[in-house]
Homo-oligomer: A and B are copies of this chain.
Amino acid sequence: MTEQHRQPHGDATSEAGDLAVLEQQDHAITEPTELDAARLDRILDAVEAGDAEAVRAAIDPLHAADIADLLEQISPHQRRALLSLYALEIDGDILSHLDDSIREEVIESLPRDVLAEAMRELDTDDVVDILEDLEQPEQAFILQALESDDRAAVESALAWPEYSAGRLMQSETVTGPQDWTVGQAIDHLRSVEWLPDQFYHVILVDERHRPTGHVTLGRVLASRRDVALRDITEKEFRTIEATEEEAEVAFLFNKYHLISAPVVDAAGRLVGVITIDDAMTVLDEEHEEDMLRLSGVVMEASVSDNALTTARLRLPWLVVNLFTASLSAVVITQFEATIEALVVLAALMPIVASTGGIAGTQSLAVAVRALATRSLTSANATRVVWRELGAGMLNGAGLALILGLGGWLIFGDLWLGVVLGMAMICNQIVAALGGVLVPLGLNRLGLDPALASGTFVTTLTDVMGFFAFLGFATVFLL
């Protein structure tokens, strides 16, 4: 599985130092083929012409990640046509890079032997990542297509909970007993038939296979053969429980700048390794989830979703909002007499409400982000809430001044200006506090603070905005 590769022209350059060849080699290496618009057009033309040869020629130089992008970005119709010409070339890496929403469709279209071969190429963590999203019959087929060692590893990974470290790890580890020297480690590494594609440490384990430290490969390489591994272990050493949530794993990697971390079972025995590239993928997905939830999209949405899926993912919060917005209507109804007496109020009330909505969204975004990065904790929650109150008062005062003066000048009514200003201050304070208190409360309840989403906070600021403005108007203007 460790791929071997010879540089084109490698031998020529070392012998001759011929500049032209060097340039060429240099060029070939530093500019990998990109999926640009011209290539995309070329591929789609070849697909339309049914020219499998031309399709292959245009796609093969691309990185698996770019081929996956290609499959995601073309239409379902084009995708089916392309796959009918290119299916035999689909390999495991392409499947790995594909978005979940497309992957199942692609997998179903593959000839069984191509799929089996593609899965056999992958490290077990990638197989698990693909397998866990598939239906039962596909899962069973892929499992039986794997070699028995890999199958056992995949099955034991699948036994860990979804979104846990156990699902994220690769079960292939590089370990040595605690009393090994550098020389013994190197001899071992040279003698084993197979090594993981990626490993960055030699993990020291005790006789019960519990990790006790790890040594970077750089340190192994730089040390003399007679140096004991235990004398050159890293000062920082963190193991991760297999049941740990993957979001927590990503957080730890980012916080402590980990490159790889051993995963242990409940008895502390080594069961796998998580590497930073997988943690980075999780971090990216967590961010996506936060951003979409905050904006009221209930779950993973992809640009390759169709209109029906898109509508379905968004409808829940829209319906919720329909009812919460009716609260505003109920509030306004209480002031019908006021509006009837002074109909310009109906035109001005949305200004107070919507500026409150923006302030609430700002406060909410900062709080959700701070909770996600653990920089908002019980140690500083009170201070942050006071800070928000202060910021709400300051901006409320500033906005009140602008709006109040504007209202006074435009309508020639000092008291209308005063009412606008007072309502603005009230609503800015409610917005700033609501934006931080709602996610803090959800977090305290063990829920995802991003679930707060704009809907709750804008409802709050709408209701408060209308109530304050129409209330003050009733008192001061009638």
| Docked complex: A328-362 residues within 8 A CB-CB of B | 328-330, 332-333, 336, 339-340, 343-344, 346-351, 353-355, 357-359, 361-362
Can you list 28 pairs linking A and B with CB atoms under 8 Å apart? A10-B178, A29-B213, A30-B264, A72-B375, A190-B223, A195-B218, A199-B218, A258-B277, A259-B276, A287-B291, A295-B365, A295-B366, A296-B361, A297-B362, A303-B375, A310-B391, A311-B390, A318-B355, A319-B399, A319-B402, A321-B355, A325-B355, A328-B350, A329-B350, A330-B347, A336-B346, A343-B346, A346-B349
Which residue of chain B has the shortest Cβ distance to A383 in the bound complex? Answer: B75
Q: Does A233 lie within 8 Å of B7, measured CB to CB?
A: yes
Instruction: For the complex of A and B, list the 4 residue pairs with the smallest distance between their C-beta atoms, beginning with the closest.
Output: A307-B390, A295-B365, A217-B217, A332-B347
In the bound complex, how far is the Cα of B403 from the Cα of A218, in angstroms? 66
Distance from A421 Cβ to chain B, minimum over Cβ atoms (Å): 12
**Copies of this protein, total:** 2
| Docked complex: A452-476 residues within 8 A CB-CB of B | 454-455, 458-459, 462, 466
Q: Does B391 lie within 8 Å of A311, measured CB to CB?
A: yes
| Docked complex: A213-238 residues within 8 A CB-CB of B | 213, 216-224, 230-238
Q: Does B380 lie within 8 Å of A318, measured CB to CB?
A: no
Distance from A150 Cβ to chain B, minimum over Cβ atoms (Å): 20
- Judge if A395 is at the interface, Cβ distance under 8 Å: yes
Q: Does B14 lie within 8 Å of A179, measured CB to CB?
A: yes
Indicate the member of A190, A192, A218, A288 with the most B CB atoms within 10 Å.
A218
Instruction: Point out the residue from B237, B239, B318 that lies within 8 Å of A399, measured CB to CB.
Output: B318
Q: Does A339 lie within 8 Å of B343, measured CB to CB?
A: yes
In the bound complex, how far is the Cα of B14 from the Cα of A438, in angstroms? 54
Q: Does B178 lie within 8 Å of A14, measured CB to CB?
A: yes
Q: Does A222 lie within 8 Å of B29, measured CB to CB?
A: no
- Judge if A4 is at the interface, Cβ distance under 8 Å: yes
Interface stretch of the complex, out of A113-121, A136-144, A278-286: A278-286
Q: Does A454 lie within 8 Å of B361, measured CB to CB?
A: yes
In the bound complex, how far is the Cα of B164 from the Cα of A198, in angstroms? 28
- Judge if A446 is at the interface, Cβ distance under 8 Å: no
In the bound complex, how far is the Cα of B222 from the Cα of A198, in angstroms? 12
Q: Does B317 lie within 8 Å of A206, measured CB to CB?
A: no
- Judge if A175 is at the interface, Cβ distance under 8 Å: no
A 68-95 to B, binary, CB cutoff 8 A, 1 in contact else 0: 0100111100000000000000000000
Indicate the member of A40, A206, A212, A259 with the most B CB atoms within 10 Å.
A212
Interface stretch of the complex, out of A46-54, A127-135, A154-162, A249-257: A249-257
Indicate the member of A328, A347, A386, A458 with the most B CB atoms within 10 Å.
A347
Distance from A17 Cβ to chain B, minimum over Cβ atoms (Å): 7
Known A-B contacts A200-B200, A239-B30, A303-B384; the reply to A231 vs B280 at CB < 8 A is: no
Known A-B contacts A259-B276, A284-B254, A319-B399; the reply to A297 vs B346 at CB < 8 A is: no
Instruction: Point out the residue from B73, B239, B368 that lies within 8 Å of A377, measured CB to CB.
Output: B73
- Which of chain B's residues have a CB closer than 8 A to the CB of A403? 322
Q: Does B259 lie within 8 Å of A277, measured CB to CB?
A: yes
In the bound complex, how far is the Cα of B232 from the Cα of A359, in angstroms? 57
- Which of chain B's residues have a CB closer than 8 A to the CB of A174? 218
- Judge if A369 is at the interface, Cβ distance under 8 Å: yes
Q: Does A454 lie within 8 Å of B358, measured CB to CB?
A: yes
Known A-B contacts A5-B234, A235-B5, A276-B276; the reply to A351 vs B329 at CB < 8 A is: yes
Distance from A347 Cβ to chain B, minimum over Cβ atoms (Å): 4
Known A-B contacts A40-B379, A455-B358; the reply to A307 vs B391 at CB < 8 A is: yes
- Judge if A149 is at the interface, Cβ distance under 8 Å: no
